[in-house]
Each structure stands twice: as structure tokens, then as C-alpha cells.
Amino acid sequence: MRASRLTLALASGTACALTLAGCGGGGGTGSQSAGAAAVADPADSGSFTFIAQATGNKDEPFDAIISAFEKKYPNIKVKAEYLPIGTSYADSLRTRLRGGNQPDVYYAAPGGGGLTSLLNLADAGLAADLTRQSWTSGLVDKNAHGLFYQGGRLWGVPFDRVVVAQVYNTTALKKSGIQVPRTMDELLAACRTARKQGKSMISLAGASTENAGLFASALAANYVLGDDPEFNTQRDQGKTTFAGNAGWQATAKAIIDMNKAGCFQKGVEAADIPQAAPALVQGKALSFVIPTGAFGALRGISPSIQLEAHPLPGATAAGTNIYSSQSDALAISPKGAKNGAATTFLKYVSTEGGDAVYAKATGNLPLKGTLNDPALNSISGILTDQKHVYPMVQLPWPNPEVYNNLGKGVQGLLTGQQSADAVLKSMDEAWKTK
């Protein structure tokens, strides 16, 4: 039960980060969005329906937002429904949006290329236009603009910020005597020391393409985006490839080097999240690379666990970066476009404190500022340094198969059944299928 809950929480900490259930960029042609209705202005009374992905927790995080919202707007009532995460949610959402039972408000993943991608839903005429709402001005980060806007119009709003970090079990780390590594060389040395102590430096769900892909993606923040922040744009224009990019080659090599140094738990290639996460809680592994939104699930298993988040190190301390992404979205359906109460909800969630309520419930960050959580103290500095903060590299990818091939490729690197070139070429092949 606990493992199942943790799996869901890790997956829903950000659908983009772990499941890619609709993440990606580019979008489509906008052929059916041209005549999309603009949303109504906010209203102080009424009701609306809302659907989102279920997390598997006893208390759904959106329930906390809805409760706070209804206190602020007592004349508005929300009817919420939570559907199973992943493909089931995607299928149900699209069926509802295309049929006669549209929700007024729904959860979507920013970008395009997947089943619940915001821009693809807008292309299909299944999202309303938010552009004329003055409260949306400046809401979307510049580096996330292409994930929420298409054709000059805004199709959804962010409501949290997902941070991916190397999360340590502080107690186990102190007992080991190992200092937090600041460079890849230091990390490899720490891995060897931890292995001699019968522990692993990093727990990795190698059997999960989602978690394996996330780990590689976190490394790419250092080796790819640090030197080539416009990689995705250049890849989309055909000016570069994964296989031909030195940063992606270095990312794959780092995984191979870490595996040789014993950084991961024994049997890493067969471990899924229900095996990998408890290793961190039990102190058998010293760290786990995950979204900080998983803090709540980890603490649910072990309320006394002390956590500490750090960036996954790059080749140098100066070349170490971190992901902080506006990676979740809320949108209004064509049916909801006429409902001012639905507009009020999106305004509340993104500009009137709803993001802070959600952050407290999940462990993700609010759109502005941070949380008063000691586990985040060690990354508070880097999160304010825009030279070292990026959205997740996979968000603008044109289809989920590119990320899926990355995750499968990490598995191949761990078992020695695939070379770095083969992994990266498979991602290039997947990119061609838009």
C-alpha cells in the first residue's frame, strides 16, 4: 500500500517529470484553435466542474486548493473529480472534452506532443483562450512561454513550480561520513566509499523508463543545457542531433562512469520505484534523484525522515545546474469559457495564493518564492541564480517516444546492452515522428 502510494505520488509530483503523460513541445498547427472562444471575465458566484489526475493520497492536493478557494469565494461551488493518473486519465479527459460531458476546468500538461498536452488540446479546439485576461500578464516564465502560448494566445495557466534535485537521507549521509559532492569526480569518489560501506550513493529505479529518463535528464541540465541552452530549438530546426551533441554524449558517459563506480544499488536495472524509494527511506541508499514534490510521500512512509535537496553535480561546481519548471497547467474547456466562476478559479490558483496552498500540500514550489522547508535550504541559493536554472529539457520534445527512448536507453547503458551512440540515435529517430 505504501509503495503504491509512493509510486503514484512520485508520478504525480509532476506528470511531466516522471510519466511524460502529455509533456512535450511544439504543438500542432492550431487548425481548430483559430475560432476558440475567449473565457468570460471572473465572477464572484456560480459553480463549475473540475477534473484532474488522482495522486493516490488520502487527501488530494487540489482539495486543499478548493477548500481555500471556497472560503475566499463562498458563493462559488466546485464539483471536483479525480481520475487515475497516466493513460487512463488521458483517455478519459479527451473523451469527455470531445463529448457532451465536458468539465469546465481540467488539468493538462504544458507543451505539445502527448495525449494530455495543453497545446494539442488547444489545436483540437478543446481549450478556451485566456489571452485577454489582464491578470495573466507576466504569469508564464519566459523560458516556458512556448509551453503555454501558441499562435500568440494563452491556453492554460501554471500553478506550481517543479524542482528536480538529488534528495539525500540526511541521517544516513551523516552516518556515512560522506560530504555532499559538488562535482562529478567527487560524486564518483563518494560512490566508491558508500559501496565499501555496503550502501549505494544513489537509488535509481532502473526498471522504470520514467525514473531512468528523469535521472538522465537531470544530468543533461549540466552537460547539455549549461553549454547549449538552445539545444531543443536547434534540434527542432535540424541543426543538431542527440547523437552529434557533445553534451548528450557526456551525459551518457556520466551514467556509464557512475555505474562502473558503483553509484547505484545492486540490481539497479531490475528495480522499480517501489524498490528504489524505500532504499532511501531505510538508509540503504543515501540519495534519490526525484521531484521535491515527492517529499510528502516519503514523509508519509517515515515521518521522522530528514531530507536534504542538492543539485545533481556536473563536471564542475560552476557547471552545475538545476531544474525548476512550470510543469503543470490548468485549462478551461469550450463549455467552461462562458463560466466566469471557472475563470475566477484559474485566477485564484495562479495569482491569488492558490499556488502556495498547492505547494504546501505537495512539496512543489509556488510560482513565486519558496517553501519554509529545511529540506530545501541547500538549493535556495541556486534557485535564485537564473544562469543555473532551467526548465526540464524534455518539456519541448515533440512526442513522448523521445523521452521513452531515453529511459529505455539508460536501462541499456546499465546492462551494457546499448552503447551511448545507439541510445542517442534512437532518440533522434523518435524525434522525426511528430
Give the CATH number for residue 316: 3.40.190.10
Cα separation, 130 vs 134, whole angstroms: 9
- Are 394 and 413 members of one domain? yes
Average pLDDT on 364-378 reads 87
What does the pLDDT average to over 283-307?
Answer: 90
**Distance separating alpha carbons of residues 318 and 256, to the nearest angstrom:** 22
Cβ(49)–Cβ(105) below 8 Å: yes
Contacts of 267 (CB under 8 A, 6+ apart): none
312-359 residue pLDDT tens = 999 999 999 999 988 899 999 999 999 999 999 999 999 999 999 998
Encoded amino acid at 87, one letter: T
- State pLDDT tens for residues 66-115: 999 999 999 999 999 999 876 788 899 999 999 889 999 999 988 876 67
Q: Ramachandran region of residue 271, left (φ > 0), alpha (ψ -120 to 50) or beta?
A: beta
Which class for 7: exposed (0-12), middle (13-18), buried (19 or more C-beta within 10 A)? buried
The number of C-alpha atoms within 13 Å of 161 and in the hemisphere containing its C-beta is 22
**182-191: per-residue pLDDT in tens?**
999 999 999 9
> Residues 107-119, buried b or exposed e (16+ Cβ, 10 A)?
bbbbbbbbbbbbb
237 and 306 assigned to the same domain: yes
Would you state the pLDDT for residue 68?
A: 98
Same domain, 236 and 377: yes
Judgement on whether residues 128 and 224 belong to the same structural domain of the protein? no
- Residue 12 falls inside a structural domain: no
Residue 433 has pLDDT above 90, yes or no: no
pLDDT at 152 over 70: yes
- Number of domains making up the chain: 2
pTM: 0.85
Count CB neighbours of 71 within 10 A: 8
Per residue in 42-59, pLDDT tens? 999 999 999 999 876 778
Q: Is residue 34 part of a domain?
A: no
- Both 355 and 383 in one domain: the answer is no
Same domain, yes or no, for 112 and 217? no
Q: How far apart (Å, rounded) are the C-alpha atoms in residues 173 and 193?
A: 12
3 state SS for the chain? CHHHHHHHHHHHHCHHHHHCCCCECCCCCCCCCCCCCECCCCCCCEEEEEEEECCCCCCCHHHHHHHHHHHHCCCEEEEEEEECCCHHHHHHHHHHHHCCCCCCEEEEECECCCCCEHHHHHHCCCCCECCCCHHHCCCCCHHHHHHHEECCEECCEECCEEEEEEEEEHHHHHHHCCCCCCCHHHHHHHHHHHHHCCCECEECCCCCHHHHHHHHHHHHHHHHHCCCCCHHHHHHCCCCCCCCCHHHHHHHHHHHHHHHCCCECCCHHHCCHHHHHHHHHCCCECEEEEEHHHHHHHHHHCCCCCEEEECCCCCCCCCCCEEEECCCEEEECCCHHHCHHHHHHHHHHHHCCHHHHHHHHHCCECCCCCCCCHHHHHHHHHHCCHHHEECCCCCCCCCHHHHHHHHHHHHHHHHCCCCHHHHHHHHHHHHCCC
Sequence-distant (6+) residues with CB within 8 A of 258 are: 187, 188, 191, 202, 264
Is it the case that residue 29 has pLDDT exceeding 60?
A: no
Residue 245, domain member (yes or no): yes
User: Which of 340, 362, 384 is the C-terminal boundary of a domain?
Assistant: 362
Q: Does 339 fall in a domain?
A: yes
Question: Among residues 308, 342, 362, which one ends one of the domains?
Answer: 362
Cell matching residue 329: 497547467
Query: Based on the domain organization, do 342 and 408 belong to the same domain?
Result: no
Cβ atoms of residues 102 and 336 within 8 Å: yes
Task: Note down the domain range covering 259.
Answer: 163-325+373-432
Averaged confidence pLDDT in the chain: 89
What's residue 21's pLDDT? 37
pLDDT above 90 as % of the chain: 69
Domain assignment of residue 134, yes or no: yes
Residues 417 and 296 in one domain: yes
Do 352 and 382 share a domain, yes or no? no
Which residues, in sequence order, are bridge partners of residue 323?
164, 390
**Do 199 and 105 share a domain, yes or no?**
no
Q: Give the pLDDT of residue 86.
A: 67
Q: Is 186 exposed, middle or buried (0-12, 13-18, 19+ CB in 10 A)?
A: middle
Within-domain flag for 40: no
User: Do residues 256 and 114 both lie within one domain?
Assistant: no
In whole angstroms, give the CA distance from residue 348 to residue 363. 19
User: Residues 220, 349: one domain?
Assistant: no
Contact criterion met (CB below 8 Å) for 112 and 146: no
Note whether residue 17 is domain-resident.
Answer: no
- Answer whether residue 32 is part of any domain: no
